[in-house]
Structure 1
Amino acid sequence: MVSTVFYVFIFLLALLSYIFIKRNNREPHKRLKLPPGSMGWPYIGETLKLYSQDPNSFFAAKQKRYGEIFKTHILGCKCIMLASPEAAKFVLVTQAHLFKPTYPKSKERLIGPSALFFHQGDYHIRLRKLVQGSLSLVAIRNLVSDIQAIAVSASDSWVSGQIISTFHEMKRYSFEVGILAIFGHLEERYREELKKNYSIVDRGYNSFPTNIPGTPYKKALLARKRLSKILSEIISERKEKRLLEKDLLGCLLNSKDEKGQVLTDEQLADNIIGVLFAAQDTTASVMTWIVKYLHDHPKLLEAVKAEQKEIGKFNDLNNLPLSWTQTRKMPVSYKVVLESLRMASIISFTFREAVDDVEYKGYLIPKGWKVMPLFRNIHHNPEFFTDPQKFDPSRFEVPPKPNTFMPFGSGVHACPGNELAKLEILTMVHHLVTKFRWEVVGSESGIQYGPFPVPQEGLPARFWRESSS
């Protein structure tokens, strides 16, 4: 009897030891703790708290209380927020394979599930190379005069005497530049149909996702189908004419993978709409802020004017358009662009999702949780940017520390069109300060989100032609 009890005891001890060792070998992350923070109310988390105030204040207060890594629950998701350069690099660059890009399905449906920024792996690498190639410095250097012509055309109506929405006008300009980069010189009928239907998709993109007829989201879905049809016509026409254009559509059409497969019309359409979406609101937001910052800083405006009028005077005397070389030699204006990108931080954060349990600085980032590097918190950290709430372009006379300035993201999912965006912005700055003077109308403070931050009401302003004297 005693021996039986002894053997049972030995067996149970061995079993417990096995379970303990197995658990410790297989689940080391279970011993880690979650970052500090509050998850808010059941189901709704802290979403109401986030949207009842300036989102930047919400994130700044969290960082002040909990540090540079903290948890929360917003928009129906359990989230880990990261507010340090090291953490942003960890998620976006060095361990990017552990974090996949993630977007709500409702937004995927409007842009198209094959758009490159919804993917990772081989498909993403292939598409990114194509987009980057068509928007590289070599590819866009010949677009300067065309972009300048678009700026002139877009601003023709500004001097009607009416108050205009600066953001609305900059969106019109950005859309036309996007069309140029994607299609080259597209026929007017196609351009107008794309513009009309894309604007409906744009209005529904951030609306409540419902299929009820008449709602902005349902209208957007229908407009998205019409966009596919229009793009299919453009693609068919290109294929028939066998044109070897070097614009984005040309690069996509002429691409074959290692098996000789070409992209389907659906993949082409999704990526074209994705690039249009990425090219419009963000760039338009930055340019709207530049108009405001220059208006609010008269001495800086005069310095930018002096730089740009010197270029304009030379071109007028020699009957020349703005050149690529000139856009690369605008040091004062370029620092204004960089500081505007830092101050406004149009992309305040980015969404990723942990594909496995991940350890970071002793904390657990659980599989399936959203992970959000907070670019704005980093850009407004006094440790990296002295007096961060002050608009001071001179701070960029010295390059910022690595991973402290990421206006276009970082890593494999960084914006592939950042050079086009900077060219587009500098071209508009040149046209703006050499041809116009302006005043902001109404409130000069306040920010609205839709979802990108822009000055209140899109910065209403009145413009006049600058005298030629």
Structure 2
Amino acid sequence: MTGADPIVLSLSVPLATVIAILVVSIFWIYGRKNGADSKLPPGDKGWPIVGSTFSLFKPHPATSIGDFLHLQHSRYGKIFSTRYLGKTLVVSADPEFNRFVFQNEMRLFQNNLPPHCKKILGEGILPFMAGETYRNMKSLVLGFFNSWQIQTRFLAEVEEAANRVMNSWRQKSLILANEELNKFFFNLAVERIIGMTPDDPEVEELRKAFNAANAGLYSVPLSLPFTPFSKALKARDFICSIVKREAEDRKLKSDKINGKENDLIWYCLKNNPSISMKRICDAVIGSIFAVLFNTQICVGLAMYFLGQCPESLQQLREEIKQKINYTDTTAKLTWDDYKNMEFCQSVINETLRFGNIIPVLWRKTLSDVYFKGYTIPQGTAIMTHIAAMHLDPSAFENPNNFYPWRWLAMGKSNNWMPFGGGVRHCCGSEIARMEIAVFLRYLVLNYDWELVEHDHPVALPSVTFPKGLPIRIHPLEEKTP
């Protein structure tokens, strides 16, 4: 037959018309809905359905805000709206609005982590809690990680472990810093939280399980075999099996259990005998996540930045030698020593500012919110963009330079929020800073180092070193005790 079948033609015209009407309708409905939100901050809504999802999470250097945010800020200012996974999203780099969000936590705003995170971490971790339940669990966790514990027990533990790992590195010339730091901080965490030492054969399995769980948090939540999300769920099951076994052992024995009477599991059972096994698992997983991954990446970033800024490395080394009794080979680090490491604290502050370990924090409105003439409806997702605040030239001079000395002059800044703010200010911030400072102290007194190859930190969206931060280390003639 030549030409088109008349029946096919008669069907194709209406079908094409229907498709065209549907496409136009989608765009019209989409545009109308966004137009109805006339009091929302202005912004580019992106593509239908997916919005700006892919642009928001496009990998970019951790020391920048990325091309998408740079473009939106230049067009619409520090607060703009877009769409994320089909829903309205307000993105803020405005310090005043971000502080307003943190100060009104649990009144106007609540945490808004993606639902799949709850399946991996557990609904009993602090970010998912609110009200009295949140206050009770936070009180329990802070009771264990209290100031006295940090200043006495934990300080000594970190110092001993840091000295031990520095000695082990003397047999090496090349290290993958990311892996070494992951092992170091995990061993610290698992001993104080679960009561297991690095000699325990299950510790390495646990470390791999926590790393798999962490990878699942930043993956597409598909429960298919061999996907990162599926592996993360299996990792959680393994972690919980270990935690439940350890908790049952403690329940069966009221006396000391091989020195494990000082770990978090024991503390939870002692102070809340009716606590469920699930709640203990969630507390353990949440605590290890809180003190492991962010601390690990912060030290890696500090090594990266210090390696590129010899002047700051030299001043840090000199400060430690001058302010701490470095000549006494039997001297142990005291809390006063730690507090006197002023330039070290500046290095940590600048690393947190420039490296942006947690670039964004997610919240959701609990009711309609009014701010600077905008109306943000109830249930709207909010992205408080911390990295954009940290890299704002109106807040920090030459923000794209690593310059620790700025903190000696300015002290504190309202635009610096690496630990969040308000009632949900990170309760592990003090112990994290102490661990970072002690590790850096032993590192700079034992070694010089250099990057083997370029490995700039990347936000994916979590901050990581794509090549594992390969570093060549050079032992110094002087050696700490």
Whether the TM-score (by the shorter chain) exceeds 0.5 is yes
Distance across 2 between alignment mates of 1:209 and 1:423? 35
SS for the counterpart of 1:463 is: strand
Does the 8 Å CA contact 1:86/1:403 hold for their aligned counterparts?
no
Tell me the equivalent position of 2:73: 63
Query: 2:305 matched to 1:293?
Result: yes
What's the counterpart of residue 429 of structure 2?
A: 418
**Considering only aligned residues, what root-mean-square deviation do their CA atoms show, in Å?**
2.4
Partner of 1:38: 44
CA distance in 2, matches of 1:291, 1:284: 11
- Mapped contact 1:47–1:75 kept (Cα < 8 A): yes
- Bigger CA drift: 267-276 or 140-149? 140-149
Q: Which residue number corresponds to residue 13 of structure 1?
A: none
Structure-2 separation of matches of 1:271 and 1:50: 31
**1:467 equivalenced with 2:473 (yes/no):** no
Describe the SS at the equivalent of 1:458. coil
Percent of counterpart pairs with the same letter?
A: 29
Q: Which residue of 2 aligns with 1:262?
A: 274
Q: 1:352 aligns with which of 363, 372, 378?
A: 363
Cα distance between partner residues in 2 of 1:31 and 1:393:
43
**Please, which runs of 5 or more residues in structure 2 have no aligned partner?**
1-35
- What is the match of residue 87 of structure 1? 97
Matches within 5 A, 1:159-174: 159-161=170-172, 163-174=174-185
Distance in structure 1 (CA, Å) of the matches to 2:476 and 2:420: 37
Secondary structure in structure 2 of the residue aligned to 1:287: helix
Q: 2:26 aligns to what?
A: none
8 Å CA contact 1:69–1:81 kept in 2: the answer is yes
The residue type equivalent to 1:125 in the other structure is R
Give the Cα separation in 1 of the matches to 2:155 and 2:413. 30
Matches within 5 A, 1:38-437: 38-52=44-58, 54=60, 56-57=65-66, 58-94=68-104, 96-142=106-152, 143-161=154-172, 163-183=174-194, 186=197, 188-242=200-254, 245-256=261-272, 262-310=274-322, 314=325, 317-399=328-410, 403-437=414-448
Closer, same or farther in 2 for the Cα pair 1:311/1:189, shift >3 Å?
farther
Q: Does the aligned pair in 2 maintain the 1:315–1:322 contact within 8 Å? A: no
Q: Verify the 8 A CA contact 1:78 1:370 in the aligned structure 2.
A: yes
Quote the offset at 1:202 in angstroms: 2.8
Aligned mates of 1:45, 1:243 — CA distance in 2: 58
Q: 1:305 to 1:167 in 2, by over 3 A?
A: same
C-alpha contact (below 8 Å) 1:336/1:393 kept by paired residues: yes
Q: CA 1:40–1:32 in structure 2 vs 1: closer, same or farther (change >3 Å)? A: closer
Q: CA deviation at 1:416?
A: 0.6
Query: Greater shift after overlay, 187-196 or 91-100?
Result: 187-196
Sort the Cα spacing of 1:138 and 1:38 in 2 relative to 1 into closer, same or farther, 3 A. Answer: same
**Counterpart contact for 1:281–1:452, Cα < 8 Å:** no
Contact 1:448–1:454 (CA under 8 A) maintained in structure 2:
yes
Q: CA deviation at 1:400?
A: 5.4
| Structure 2 CA distance for partners of 1:172 and 1:93, relative to 1, 3 Å | same
Q: TM-score, normalised by structure 2?
A: 0.84
Corresponding residue for residue 9 of structure 2: none
Unaligned runs of 5+ residues in structure 1 are 1-29
State whether residues 320 and 441 of structure 2, in contact with CA within 8 Å, keep that contact through their aligned partners in structure 1.
yes
Q: What are the Cα deviations for residues 202-233 of structure 1, in whole angstroms up to 9, with x where unaligned?
A: 33332322222232322221221111111011
* Amino acid in structure 2 at the alignment position of 1:227: I
Task: Using the TM superposition, give the Cα deviation of residue 336 of structure 1 relative to its aligned residue in structure 2, in angstroms.
Answer: 0.8
Is the contact made by 2:166 and 2:442 (CA closer than 8 Å) also made in structure 1? no
Work out whether residues 154 and 172 of structure 1, in 8 Å CA contact, stay in contact via their aligned partners in 2.
Answer: no
Q: Please give the alpha-carbon distance, in whole angstroms, between the structure 1 residues aligned to 2:221 and 2:104.
A: 35
Q: Any idea what SS the aligned residue of 1:38 has?
A: coil
Measure, in 1, the Cα distance between the counterparts of 2:73 and 2:192: 40
Q: Is the CA contact (8 Å cut-off) linking 1:384 and 1:400 kept in structure 2?
A: no
Query: Per the alignment, do residues 114 and 73 of structure 1 end up closer, same or farther by CA in structure 2, a change over 3 Å counting?
Result: same
Give the match's secondary structure for 2:370. Answer: strand
Deviation for aligned residue 1:95:
5.3
**Separation in 1 of the partners of 2:86 and 2:445?**
48
Aligned equivalents of 1:81 and 1:250: distance in 2?
A: 42
Task: Output the amino acid matched with 2:45.
Answer: M
- Give the Cα–Cα distance (whole angstroms) in 2 for the partners of residues 447 and 315 of structure 1: 33
